[in-house]
């Protein structure tokens, strides 16, 4: 088990996990001065800074993070409920395609996973 930053920093040298659980979308933080500066630029131009900058950045980050899991035929679980209630949710789901959308835990999804390393 690891946090997002650890996974992204080390995913090239670690074996692909069989299960990657993503609690929240990796939307860049406005607390980061570089992000805040770019957002300010979009705001000055009266442009949609979320859809033109933050969302594409988050989707790219998400796709890079899940690539090794997909290649190893692992399972990616996105728990961020914003995909169900925000207007950009479908874009997120499209970025994850192919995917299955479920609102319950289907044990059969995990039948091929080996959790013996956790015992």
User: SS3 of 76, please?
Assistant: strand
Domain residue extents for the chain = 16-106
Structure tokens at 79: 């728990």
Segment 19-26 mean pLDDT: 90
With H, G, I as helix, E, B as strand and everything else as coil, classify residue 20.
strand
Distance separating alpha carbons of residues 52 and 50, to the nearest angstrom: 6
Whether the predicted pLDDT of 1 surpasses 80: no
pTM metric for this prediction: 0.79
pLDDT digits over 26-54, tens only?
Answer: 999 999 999 999 999 999 999 999 999 99
Give the three-class secondary structure for 75.
strand
């Amino acid at each position: 088990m690891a946090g997002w930053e650890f996974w992204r920093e080390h995913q090239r040298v670690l074996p692909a996990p069989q299960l990657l659980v993503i609690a929240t979308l990796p939307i860049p933080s406005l607390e980061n001065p570089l992000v805040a500066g770019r957002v300010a630029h979009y705001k000055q131009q009266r442009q949609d800074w979320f859809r033109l900058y933050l969302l594409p950045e988050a989707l790219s980050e998400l796709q890079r993070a899940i690539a090794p899991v997909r290649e190893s035929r692992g399972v990616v679980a996105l728990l961020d409920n914003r995909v169900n209630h925000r207007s950009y949710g479908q874009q997120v789901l499209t970025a994850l395609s192919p995917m299955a959308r479920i609102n319950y835990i289907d044990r059969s999804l995990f039948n091929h996973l080996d959790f013996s390393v956790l015992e």
